[in-house]
Amino acid sequence: MTYEKLNRRMPWFSLVLAALAGGCSQDAGDTRPAIARVEPAERTVENFTLIERNGEPFESDSLRGKVWVASFFFANCPGICLKMNQSIADLQKELDPEVRFVSITVDPDHDTPEVLNAYAQRVGATDRWLFLTGSMRDIKDIANDSFQVAAAPAAHSERLMLVDRQGRVRGSYLVSDGAQMTLLIRKVAELLKEPS
């Protein structure tokens, strides 16, 4: 049986492979085609509380009224995470200052607020870009329920998820695909024109 067939039958298969390989999985557990996905507008991000890199609790409710981009990563990732966060750093410069970025670690045992703060400085994050940690259970719930992507220790999706002012997921874009990043930028501009 090919990898593709096995992964379609058992979406967690790529997570297991990534964990065994000791690296981060690219689009872990996601068996859908590698195209930009426009998500149903009625699917809203569930409210969550995590810990920001400054050590303070962060309530997702504080993002209401903002357009934001969510991602999952971990600081020790030897592969796609660095590329993904470099892309977010570029978006941070290119997009309207109103847009926020929310990066959630999938390695909370290692990625303490201090580690996340040092990492944020390394990638040039401003105060518009949040780095969050918490319990692995909460992080999995956020990834699975709100964003419909897989998350496990040292394995995560390489998608950027776009959220509108009402907290609705409006798209999911592969960070490794330049065409999809262009679509993301266009969609952000559209969402910024929508009323709060």
Q: Specify the pLDDT at position 74.
A: 93
Angle between helices 80-94 and 178-193 (to 10 degrees): 40
Q: Specify the pLDDT at position 37.
A: 55
The 10s digit of each residue's pLDDT in 54-101 is 999 999 999 999 999 999 999 998 778 888 999 999 999 999 999 999
**Is residue 55 helix, strand or coil?**
coil
pLDDT band at 9 (very low <50, low <70, confident <90, very high): very low
Could you identify the residue written with the tokens 């977010």? 88
Q: Specify the pLDDT at position 150.
A: 85
Q: Specify the pLDDT at position 42.
A: 58
The 10s digit of each residue's pLDDT in 33-56 is 444 555 444 589 999 999 999 999
Mean pLDDT check: name the lowest of 25-39, 113-127, 180-194: 25-39
State how far the Cα of 172 lies from the Cα of 181, in Å rounded to an integer.
Answer: 10
What whole-number percentage of the chain has pLDDT above 90? 68
Nearest in space to 77 (alpha carbons), one of 106, 117, 44 = 106
Nearest in space to 36 (alpha carbons), one of 179, 192, 193 = 179
Residue 78 is inside which H or E element, if any?
Answer: none
Q: Is the pLDDT of residue 175 over 70?
A: yes
What's this model's pTM, rounded to 2 decimal places? 0.81
The 10s digit of each residue's pLDDT in 99-140 is 999 999 999 999 999 999 999 999 999 999 999 999 999 999
**Is residue 66 helix, strand or coil?**
coil
Q: Is the pLDDT of residue 14 over 50?
A: no
State how far the Cα of 178 lies from the Cα of 166, in Å rounded to an integer.
Answer: 27
| Amino acid sitting at position 158 | E
Could you identify the residue written with the tokens 């266009």? 186
CATH superfamily of this structure's domain 3-193:
Glutaredoxin (3.40.30.10)
Q: What ranges do the domains of the chain cover?
A: 3-193
Residue 180 is inside which H or E element, if any?
Answer: helix 178-193
Residue 87 is inside which H or E element, if any?
Answer: helix 80-94
State how far the Cα of 169 lies from the Cα of 172, in Å rounded to an integer.
Answer: 8
| Amino acid sitting at position 113 | P
State how far the Cα of 129 lies from the Cα of 69, in Å rounded to an integer.
Answer: 9
Structure tokens at 50: 């995590």
**CB atoms inside a 10 Å sphere around CB 44:** 14
